[in-house]
Structure 1
Amino acid sequence: MSLWAVTFLEYWKRTCSTLSHRWDFLSFPEQECPRPEFSAMAPMTTRNPITGAEEPYFPENKRFRRTVTGCMVIIIMVAVVLMFLIAIILYRTIISVVIYKTVRTNSFFGISAVTIASLSGSVLNLLVILMLSKIYTTLADILTRWEMHRTQTKYEDMFILKVFIFQFVNFYSTPVYIAFFKGRFVGYPGMYKTLFGIRNEDCGVGGCLIDLAQELLIIMVGKQIINNIEEFVSPKVKVWWQRNKMHPLLTNKAQTMMNVSPWEADYDLLVCEGLFGEYLEMVLQFGFITIFVAACPLAPLFALMNNWVEIRLDAQKFVTQYRRPVVERAQNIGIWFPILQFITHIAVISNAFLIAFTSSFVPRLYYRYTRNNTLSGFVNFTLSTAPESYIQQHHNISCDHLPEFYELLVIRLSCVIIFEHVVFFIHRLIDLIVPDIPEDVELKMKREHYMAKQALAENKVQHLLFELYFL
């Protein structure tokens, strides 16, 4: 999956160059006009050194201070996410203990107490994530407007970056905790470690990968279902409300469509607010299916099913519920592509650590080649033991690592380094071998450039002949 992610980005660069050439966006103008909101709210004007025209101006030192303030708000919101994460951890621990003590006479409920607490905690975590996403998206829009960015591209890039940083922590903090931190700080009998007086939670019998897969499926699939329902129901309700508000006497939709012209009917629809939500949803989904795919191989399948439904819901929404959007020129997808590259690099490193440290893949190989090829006695090999004589002689029991622990640690770190170096080497090799612009597109560009130069030369010759004729 890591190789697919890096290959996907290379394929997208080629597709982007093909589309840019087809739609004649390769010669996109470098100079961009100021935003209307910036022009209206800028406190002063200054002369543009390139065009020489007077343009609205906002002092850079004030913008820098506002940007730093926005970064502080992002840090505060990230801290809020981490506080909710700690609250969810404490909730799971307390609920599992309460359920176990309440129904400990029933063996079934006693065994599934941790599972019930984990499932309810995952659902509660999903609701908290969606609530914080709505709040912060509105806050990020207000902060970006307050920062007074000159161009629309810069405004959109800063807004997208703010939202992505928060959403990255918001959606992936719990899976990262389960994958790399849960069960690492439990302690041992007589010396258990606690958080606010409550014993730290441990992984289930099947290991942390089972808990991680469960958390991923609940967050990713739950988010997809809620978003699809919202995209299907919310526009219809808004359009119905807007039509009743604008035409209170015409309650029949067919009657309304017959009495007004098509452009008036289009005006009754919702205003298209752009594709930011669609891009953000796909980027977050890309992170789910690449960063944690080693723990949940079914994630790409659920993503494929969601995208099949998403395409049809979006088509119905944009055609029947929204006004025809205003066309805007764009040379590429902007800051979204560097974000995808960042997610790809994180995915390679994350999967390397998942395979080496979270799963039992490396310990099994180590035991197979050093102890027993049939893995007989592997479970006992993974458990900690203390000799009876040592326990009798020492009242304060402490655990010391055996040499095998350090050997395994070295092997695991070696696996991480080898894995990520191999993937990044293949990525670099593909980048060098496969050109960003397809060969047929490059030939068309060269042909168009040659034809333009030839037409310019013929025009100059005709202009000279015209001057000589009249002279």
Structure 2
Amino acid sequence: MESSDAAPRFEICIAVASSKHSPGSDNDAVASYIKALKNSGLVVEIEEGLDSIRFIKIAAPIEVVGRTAEKLNIKKSTYLGLEVPFVWEKRDAFVRQAISNSLFTWTEKYSCMEYLLYSVANEKDHPVKFTVGESSELELKPGENMLAVLKASEVVKDVFVLHDETTRNELLKGWAMNFKGLTSQPVDAIHAYFGAKVAIYFAFLGMYTQWLVIPSIVAAFFYYKESRPWGTALPVALSVMTVVWSVLFLQFWKRKNAALLTRWGVSLDRSEGPEEAENIDFAAVTNEGGIQAGRIHEMDINKLQKQAFQKKEWLEQLKSARNNGIVIVGIIFVQLPFELAYAHMNKMASYEVLRYFLTVIYLLGIQVFTNLGGKIAVKLTKTEHYGSKEAESDGLIYKVFGIYFMQSYIGLFYHALFHRDFIVLRHFLVQRLIIAQIMSNISENVVPWFSYLYAKHKATKHDEEHKKSDDKKIRSPVEEEYLKPEYSSSVGDDLEDGLFDDFLELALQFGMVTMFACSFPLVFVFALINNLVEIRSDAIKLLLMFRRPRPREAASIGAWLQIFQYMGVVAICTNCALLVCLYDEAGQWNVEPGMAAILVMEHLLLLAKFGFKCFVPEEPAWVKAKRARRARLQEKYTLQILKDGKHRDL
């Protein structure tokens, strides 16, 4: 049971340049900031580190978190089934977390702590000057945030999240290093430690891997039986199986996603409307007698306001279309020729070793191109106006995925549809799957590890030169976390974290599986093996290789779900085109009975896709029942409040 007397854990750390910190001065900027944090109720502890860095470890007692949550109007579920703003004095009425027995999720707690860190500001009506080190000064303007100013002046080097060693060791033993469970994962414990977004990713990865098992067995059977007399019918059967499998998988994932959110108490409601909606003066529609019916019309939008909204809406649409056009033009005139040149050279190569060498060179070169394209996509996205940060992040995902889609599939389409060389296509798929997986593990695990070792060596060497220390070891877990790289995406961490690259890898693999399985059935097997490794490597990466990521709330996998569904539609067209190439050996593209049958099959598969979506409900019945029960309770208590006249105090 969590209590206000329990010793808080240090969960956030601020790295400060110790050479610029003179704690003896009463007007020192860092000392003043620490004093303000202590006055807000936070527990602060200072620890010396290597490389002239001082670490300010911060913990938040449960009462401080609770009162901050009340101030921020964080909504939480009560034992009555209602979701209401948290009140510290009524804390026993609110549902606790199943894993930690805490009042708050890690995401909620982090939000409260972050608010307190950034709430220290100059509340005076005139600038305040602080000393920094022995000779420098720092001026804080009225209303200016102190931590932001300290970061801008490079007094504060970084603010990062600390691992809890006990919980991390438990996850290492029961999850990352537990190879017996294969696809089973403690998603509730992952949610409690990392937050909803990371937990949803691993839940999706685990379910996707589970759903690959049966198709892998069937596909392996098809692969070894395709030389039989009846083997010519196998590609058609495999195409139908792949399409049906992809549709059912995504539908059942939606059901699992809804069940997880209900279990974790995460609300599906997300406000993505115009920012003006947040500025409505609700006080204008209430008075001592309740709602002022005569002033309801003031909440309406007049003709001029409607025109302004419409003008702004269409200007944003045009800006978005312009940015998307820039991305498309870049793909067609820059990336497409490069991809086709590589595909042609790969086909012309006479030795298999040379093909693998070309693939390695290509993958290294394309990283430069895609990183540049990703940075351009970020800049374009920032010029657009979105209703929320989630929508802005989704816009970035769509743009960057277009670049990676072309990079990943144009060579495959080139071999399959232009040359109709399915032997080369199979070799190409194997190369991409194997080499891409090896390079992915190197970039995700090996590179961060060597980056950490280099940073550790550099810090120790600096400490030896300046402090003449004989101790060459990092002296605390805090400094080890500081020297580790941030869990950020390849396109920057402004809008997305490292999960962007993890989801991108899965989406591209899903496309290869669904679009090319009929030409190379073993692609299912390669994907299954890859994902079994990916589950553990990603777990180790988050627990050991990178800093603990900042928790981010999420109700789904976001734009990635739309991309997976889009890939399912493209897979229907691609599979039918591949079947045409397989059966039309003369290359005449005549609409003979066989070709006509394939065209009919395409339409039937499209109908089946939408039919299965209607057949499989997106939410389990118990989730719908729970939501309906909550709505009835909400209505009941609202009517009771109106009956008792308590609404007059609102």
Query: TM above 0.5, one fold?
Result: yes
Give aligned-pair identity as a percent. Answer: 26
Flag the 1:255–1:168 CA change in 2: closer, same or farther, 3 A: closer
Provide the aligned C-alpha RMSD in A.
Answer: 3.4
* CA displacement at 1:268 relative to structure 2: 4.1
1:322 aligns with 2:541: no
* CA displacement at 1:439 relative to structure 2: 0.8
2:254 matched to which residue of 1?
13
1:51 matched to which residue of 2?
279
Q: Secondary structure, in 3 states, of the residue corresponding to 2:267? A: coil
* CA displacement at 1:123 relative to structure 2: 4.7
CA distance in 2, matches of 1:62, 1:454: 42
2:56 matched to which residue of 1?
none
Given the alignment, which residue of 18, 24, 28 partners 2:269? 28
1:169 matched to which residue of 2?
406
Flag the 1:419–1:118 CA change in 2: closer, same or farther, 3 A: farther
Aligned residue runs from structure 1 range 332-343, under 5 A: 332-343=556-567
1:432 matched to which residue of 2?
614
User: Are the counterparts in 2 of residues 272 and 323 from structure 1 also a CA contact under 8 Å?
Assistant: yes
Of residues 417-426 and 300-309 in structure 1, the stretch that sits farther from structure 2 once superposed is 417-426
Flag the 1:177–1:412 CA change in 2: closer, same or farther, 3 A: farther
CA distance in 1, matches of 2:343, 2:643: 79
User: Are the counterparts in 2 of residues 123 and 218 from structure 1 also a CA contact under 8 Å?
Assistant: no
User: Are the counterparts in 2 of residues 175 and 215 from structure 1 also a CA contact under 8 Å?
Assistant: yes
* CA displacement at 1:410 relative to structure 2: 2.5
User: Are the counterparts in 1 of residues 426 and 520 from structure 2 also a CA contact under 8 Å?
Assistant: yes
1:75 matched to which residue of 2?
329
User: Are the counterparts in 2 of residues 78 and 166 from structure 1 also a CA contact under 8 Å?
Assistant: no
* CA displacement at 1:319 relative to structure 2: 1.2
User: Are the counterparts in 1 of residues 456 and 474 from structure 2 also a CA contact under 8 Å?
Assistant: no
CA distance in 2, matches of 1:128, 1:294: 30
CA distance in 1, matches of 2:475, 2:601: 63
Matched letter for residue 435 of structure 2:
G
* CA displacement at 1:309 relative to structure 2: 1.2
Flag the 1:213–1:429 CA change in 2: closer, same or farther, 3 A: same
Matched letter for residue 170 of structure 1:
Q
1:2 matched to which residue of 2?
243
Flag the 1:277–1:10 CA change in 2: closer, same or farther, 3 A: same
1:280 matched to which residue of 2?
504
| Deviation readout 1:56-90 (Å, 9 max, x if unpaired) | x9977488447615522441233222212342355
* CA displacement at 1:455 relative to structure 2: 3.5
CA distance in 2, matches of 1:287, 1:299: 11
* CA displacement at 1:332 relative to structure 2: 1.8
User: Are the counterparts in 2 of residues 78 and 169 from structure 1 also a CA contact under 8 Å?
Assistant: no
In proportion to residue count, which structure has more helix? 1
CA distance in 2, matches of 1:451, 1:121: 64
User: Are the counterparts in 1 of residues 343 and 414 from structure 2 also a CA contact under 8 Å?
Assistant: no
| Deviation readout 1:348-373 (Å, 9 max, x if unpaired) | 11111212x2224x77xxxxxxxxxx
1:296 aligns with 2:523: no
Q: Secondary structure, in 3 states, of the residue corresponding to 1:359? A: helix
| Deviation readout 1:90-112 (Å, 9 max, x if unpaired) | 5357x55xxxxxxxxxxxxxxxx
| Deviation readout 1:156-178 (Å, 9 max, x if unpaired) | 11211111111111110010011
1:455 aligns with 2:637: yes
* CA displacement at 1:449 relative to structure 2: 2.1
Given the alignment, which residue of 575, 579, 586 partners 1:351? 575
* CA displacement at 1:433 relative to structure 2: 2.1
1:145 aligns with 2:388: no
Flag the 1:350–1:313 CA change in 2: closer, same or farther, 3 A: same
CA distance in 2, matches of 1:326, 1:90: 44
CA distance in 2, matches of 1:223, 1:429: 35
1:419 matched to which residue of 2?
601
Matched letter for residue 406 of structure 2:
V
1:271 aligns with 2:494: no
User: Are the counterparts in 2 of residues 239 and 268 from structure 1 also a CA contact under 8 Å?
Assistant: yes
Flag the 1:458–1:352 CA change in 2: closer, same or farther, 3 A: same
Matched letter for residue 331 of structure 2:
M
1:87 matched to which residue of 2?
341
1:256 matched to which residue of 2?
475
| Deviation readout 1:208-255 (Å, 9 max, x if unpaired) | 111111111111221111001221112212323444555642796865
2:295 matched to which residue of 1?
none
Flag the 1:412–1:87 CA change in 2: closer, same or farther, 3 A: same
User: Are the counterparts in 1 of residues 426 and 519 from structure 2 also a CA contact under 8 Å?
Assistant: yes
User: Are the counterparts in 1 of residues 416 and 422 from structure 2 also a CA contact under 8 Å?
Assistant: yes
CA distance in 1, matches of 2:380, 2:445: 30
User: Are the counterparts in 1 of residues 509 and 527 from structure 2 also a CA contact under 8 Å?
Assistant: yes
Q: What's the TM-score, normalizing by structure 2?
A: 0.50
Matched letter for residue 294 of structure 1:
C
User: Are the counterparts in 1 of residues 327 and 399 from structure 2 also a CA contact under 8 Å?
Assistant: no
Flag the 1:353–1:74 CA change in 2: closer, same or farther, 3 A: closer
Flag the 1:27–1:209 CA change in 2: closer, same or farther, 3 A: closer
Given the alignment, which residue of 116, 121, 136 partners 2:373? 136
CA distance in 2, matches of 1:245, 1:150: 44
Flag the 1:162–1:172 CA change in 2: closer, same or farther, 3 A: same
Flag the 1:409–1:33 CA change in 2: closer, same or farther, 3 A: closer
Matched letter for residue 348 of structure 1:
I
User: Are the counterparts in 2 of residues 126 and 218 from structure 1 also a CA contact under 8 Å?
Assistant: no
User: Are the counterparts in 2 of residues 129 and 171 from structure 1 also a CA contact under 8 Å?
Assistant: no
| Deviation readout 1:313-370 (Å, 9 max, x if unpaired) | 1111111232322222222222111111110011111111212x2224x77xxxxxxx
CA distance in 1, matches of 2:470, 2:413: 51
Given the alignment, which residue of 231, 242, 250 partners 2:444? 231
For structure 2, the residue ranges without an aligned partner over 5 or more in a row are 1-241, 282-308, 464-468, 489-496
1:158 aligns with 2:395: yes
Of residues 215-224 and 426-435 in structure 1, the stretch that sits farther from structure 2 once superposed is 426-435
Q: What's the TM-score, normalizing by structure 1?
A: 0.68
1:214 matched to which residue of 2?
427
CA distance in 2, matches of 1:266, 1:255: 10
| Deviation readout 1:382-414 (Å, 9 max, x if unpaired) | 6xxxxxxxxxxxxxxxxxx9xxx67x5323431
| Deviation readout 1:181-223 (Å, 9 max, x if unpaired) | 115xxxxxxxxxxxxxxxxxxxxxxxx1111111111112211
CA distance in 2, matches of 1:253, 1:234: 22
CA distance in 2, matches of 1:434, 1:69: 37
2:19 matched to which residue of 1?
none
User: Are the counterparts in 2 of residues 271 and 323 from structure 1 also a CA contact under 8 Å?
Assistant: yes
CA distance in 2, matches of 1:153, 1:146: 15
CA distance in 1, matches of 2:471, 2:600: 67
User: Are the counterparts in 2 of residues 10 and 431 from structure 1 also a CA contact under 8 Å?
Assistant: yes
CA distance in 1, matches of 2:250, 2:470: 49
Matched letter for residue 373 of structure 2:
Y
CA distance in 1, matches of 2:501, 2:470: 31
Q: Secondary structure, in 3 states, of the residue corresponding to 2:423? A: helix
CA distance in 1, matches of 2:555, 2:245: 25
1:391 matched to which residue of 2?
none
Aligned residue runs from structure 1 range 173-212, under 5 A: 173-182=410-419, 208-212=421-425
CA distance in 2, matches of 1:240, 1:252: 16
* CA displacement at 1:419 relative to structure 2: 1.9
CA distance in 1, matches of 2:363, 2:509: 15
